[in-house]
Structure 1
Amino acid sequence: MIEELTAKALAAALPELAALLEACVADGASIGFLHPMPPGEAEGWWRGLEGSLCDGSRRVLVARQEGRILGTGALALAGLPNGRHRAEVSKLMVHPAARRRGIARALMLALEGIAAAEGRTLLVLDTKTGDAGEPLYRGLGWREAGAIPGYALRSGGGVDATMFYYKAL
């Protein structure tokens, strides 16, 4: 089941959300963090979203099965006057033990639905070049905008290129 995470529900979900983020980073996800994550970093990052959840500038979805959070994805709504037609999909993650079940696809489609309902006509996202999510994005009609070499640091050393995608709704 996909549901929207509210600011009010954030505190209760923090332990599961932090565990999800830590598991995905440990599994090699390039979502802004490096493994090993310092204690409290994952929970602190989630806690930091409270303001944007309250003001509606970020919408976060969670995927649950039997009450447990197995995945999440966010939509950051551009707020500047020349960008109110667009939004950025970010932090799409599914627990490594729950992958290949259609959770990421369901989250992406739900995020696109929210964007459309908000009047957003252009979506953007970025991912590590060669990431397992790229076929999903292309299969959902996202188009490559281009890659930037050396964009993100890699856990254990080195850098990875990042591919930017967009989708017109």
Structure 2
Amino acid sequence: MTQPPIRALTAGEARARAGELADILLDCVAGGASVSFMAGLTRDEALAFWSRVADGVERGERILLAAEEAGRLVGTVQVVASGIPNQPHRSDLSKMLVHRDGRGRGLGAALLREAEARSRAAGWWLMVLDTVVGSEGDRLYTRGGWTPVGIIPNFALYPDGSLCGTRYFYKDLRG
């Protein structure tokens, strides 16, 4: 199986393709993913989110990666600099989103590998993330060699309003 190309989007590309990025986010939320948004997320709210992401890309605070198949964006993830003076070596993996149409083909793993490579290249060799306990993401990060450090029960809400726990992970990219 050939992997689609994973590449960084510029701020301009993110703005130009905000509709596709919004489609991915809306699909993930509709599918029940706990990714900061609740059921009823509107297209305007999703577009506003991606506008803020594009602003962060423009300021150099984050790297926005995307997977594309047949000219359509199907997955995305962000690498976010810590922005904290005593943590210049750290980044957060944020908003790993794969459209339900694109799942089961290794897109998440490809996005994860590229995110790690981009973080390392930026000098951010310690990455952290959190994900819903027992989710596909939980399994993806475990398979990817990330170290789990703990679970916080009732940490967030699923889009339907029910509670979910989160597991924190880290990965040292120095080798």
TM-score by length of 1: 0.96
Structure 2: segments with no counterpart, 5+ residues:
none
Which runs of 5 or more residues in structure 1 are unaligned?
none
1:9-48 residue CA offsets vs partner (Å, 9 max, x unmatched): 1221011010110001100111111112134111110011
SS at 2:110 equivalent: helix
Partner of 1:15: 19
After TM superposition, what 4+ stretches of structure 1 lie above 3 angstroms from structure 2? none
Q: Given the superposition, is the C-alpha separation of residues 97 and 77 from structure 1 closer, same or farther in structure 2, using an over 3 Å criterion?
A: same
Count of equivalent residues: 169
- Specify the alignment match of 1:49 in structure 2: 53
1:114 correspondence with 2:118: yes
Match of 1:64 in 2: 68
Separation of aligned partners in 1, 2:158 and 2:144: 27
State the one-letter code of the partner of 2:169. Answer: Y
**1:75-103 CA deviation, whole Å, 9 max, x = no partner?**
00112211111100010011101101011
34-43 or 57-66, which moves further after superposition?
34-43
Q: Please tell me whether residue 27 in structure 1 is matched to residue 31 in structure 2.
A: yes
**Which residue does 1:79 correspond to in 2?**
83
The alpha carbon displacement at 1:55 in A equals 1.4
- With the length of structure 2 as denominator, give the TM-score of the two structures: 0.93
Code of the residue aligned with 1:63 in structure 2: it is A
Question: What is the identity percentage for the equivalent residue pairs of Structure 1 and Structure 2?
Answer: 38
Q: 2: distance between equivalents of 1:116 and 1:30?
A: 27
Q: Secondary structure at the match of 2:55?
A: helix
CA RMSD of aligned residues (A): 1.0
